Chain A
Amino acid sequence: MRKQVMSGVAGVFVALVIGAVIMLVQGFNPVQTYGALLQYSLFTVPALAATLARAVPLVLTGLSASIAFASGPVNLGQPGQLIMGAMGATLVGLFVHAPAPLMILLCIVASLTAGALWSGVAAMLRRLFSMDEFIVTLMLNFIADYFALWLITYPLFDPAALSPMTLPVSTAAWLPSIGGLNTSVLVMLMATVFCWLVMSRGRSGYEWRMTGQNALFARIGGCKVDANYVRVMLLTGALAGLAGGLMILGGSHRFVKGLGASYAWDGIMIAVVAGNGISGTFLYGLLFSALQQGALGMELITAVPSEFIDVLQAVIVLIVVAGRVSLNLVLDYLATRRRLREAQ
């Protein structure tokens, strides 16, 4: 754990230095840029609230990817599951009428179910035909994307809008904000705690992690590997679906073309950089959200395009992941030398 924190902090620092070098080469002022980045993401209350709200889809898709990767299934379908979850929440929000708290609950259940159904398709194809979920979920992403685009272009199209989007969902389904803080953040926190409990305190989480590390060992030890596979796929799909649902209920309130564009892929990246740990995913989710939120302000103050953050994120991932491996090698070397000296 301490090693993780060390390599993470060192890796992010090195990545920021590399980012500064890139900026210097391009003729920008790195100090001013990073200053603007911090100011517009963390140092004012509204900015901090916006950063937390942006972290919701990042952390949730990150958790989805983390749990999947840690438990074995290579579920890369978060983008599609997010879109399906958002569509589920939108459909309930458009066509069901109920009082506010119940309505929100129904929409959230709909987004969980829709996400789980979409990953369930991949899980079913794997169980019945042993089709590799890695490519199946990827292809399902594209299909979900075009399917949602069709829904919002023809059957659900808002005639008053210029680009494909649905009508706004019923106001009863809008998540309220408490003191400027979007309540979807609270749902995200609850989901994070739930995931942490399942993965580090529950029996099923233990079984899943064992399966992820050594499926044969888990099977011989008496875990129902196949049933667990389906459960993990459904849970991770539901998490990604929840991310999409919360983007509707707490964000745009309608399904807009290009919704959730890159959040889910960022979530996968966050899971990778966090080494599939729950707390790590949460922290890196906040970091990436702060970077993305600050990017908008950075673009206002300095001439650096906000797309620079996309590059910086990828650099952070590569450096931290590579750093973790190399740091382990160095630490092992030092530990061995120390033990040798003690033995002499």
Chain B
Amino acid sequence: MNIFFGLVSATLVGATPILLSAIGGAFTFYAGIFNIAMEGMMLMGAFCAVLGSYFLHSWLAGIACGIAGALVMAGIFVLFAVRLHTDEFLTGIALNLFAVGATTFLLRDIFRVKGAFTNAGIRAIPTVTLPLLDHIPVVGRLLSGYNAMVYVAGLVVIVAAFAIFHTRFGLRLRAAGYNAACLSSSGVPASTVRIWSLVICAVCCGLAGAYLSLGYVRLFSENMSAGRGWISLAAIILVSGNPWGIAIISLLFGFFDGLTVFLQGSRIPTQFTAMIPYAATLVSLYFYSLRRKGRT
């Protein structure tokens, strides 16, 4: 039973960063932007979150700084891809590499360390015990006592699903992806909608990054996003951006991520368990292709 509870909690903890960045990416997906910069936004968010939390002595300030860092990345994306019409794919690759370079450089420049920065002065995002649920025996243990960001991620899914499918903004968002010229000619500039989708994406990726460096662990290490942005991109493509689908896929990846932690004590070498999330992505792509074949 303990293993079961452990796996559930490891699943939720591992799913949170992928879920947050994938929801952010879903907004740009619907707006018709080929956005692969989630990885870089998340990494920048993680670094800026540590920066804010350490110097301003508050985890809330940390989250705010994380979002601000990701927004700067979104600003560069907007400048180049939306304003100057640079290829989105190229901008994304350059931004991801820029994030790796800039965070490594700033890590060295500000904290005078190489590799990783860890310090007791970094304030972590607190865990939350849900007031009523906590006292119910099994349910309480399953659902209560997680990092605050885990609950935020849950809320974000619901808000995103509502915003994309049931608001005027969501309609315009989907129109920008479906037929940008049509949207622009009816008086709503598609580029404005796209800029807003990138802003939302940056906020989500900033939250994901802040969770990585202030919740998942309490440190910043070089390239700590470790391909989560790419996995979230795979999740978006697999379910064509639907937030509920993204939630399910993210939980699946979270489960495999949690499995990695669980198998560390076993006799399987850690190098093989560490492959699991990436192999799982390949397997899910395979099932996606089968489903697509079945339809046609």
Contact = CB atoms under 8 A, between A and B. Distances in A.
A101 B271 CA distance: 35
Interface stretch (B117-125, B201-209, B275-283): B275-283
A304 to B, nearest CB: 9
Interface in B85-124: 85-87, 89-91, 93-95, 97-98, 100-102, 104-105, 107-109
A230 interface: no
A269 B91 CA distance: 10
Interface residues of A, number: 41
A326 B233 contact: no
B93 A149 contact: no
Interface stretch (A103-111, A124-132, A247-255, A335-343): A124-132
- Which of A132, A146, A268 has the most B CB atoms < 10 Å from its CB? A146
Contacts of B281: 135, 139
Contact of A135 (B90, B272, B285, B293): B285
Given A135-B234, A142-B227, A142-B275, A310 B285 contact: no
Interface in B64-87: 76, 80, 84-87
B137 interface: no
B143 interface: no
B97 A314 contact: yes
B286 interface: yes
B1 interface: no
Contact of A305 (B84, B108, B272, B289): B108
Contact of A321 (B87, B108, B288): B87
A130 B105 contact: no
A146 B271 contact: yes
Contacts of B279: 139, 143
A136 interface: yes
Given A142-B275, A143-B279, A153 B105 contact: no
Contacts of B76: 318
Contacts of B91: 318, 321
11 contacts: A129-B286, A138-B227, A138-B230, A139-B230, A139-B282, A140-B282, A150-B269, A266-B97, A272-B93, A314-B102, A321-B86
Q: 6 closest Cβ contacts across the A-B interface?
A: A310-B101, A314-B98, A150-B271, A307-B105, A142-B278, A317-B94
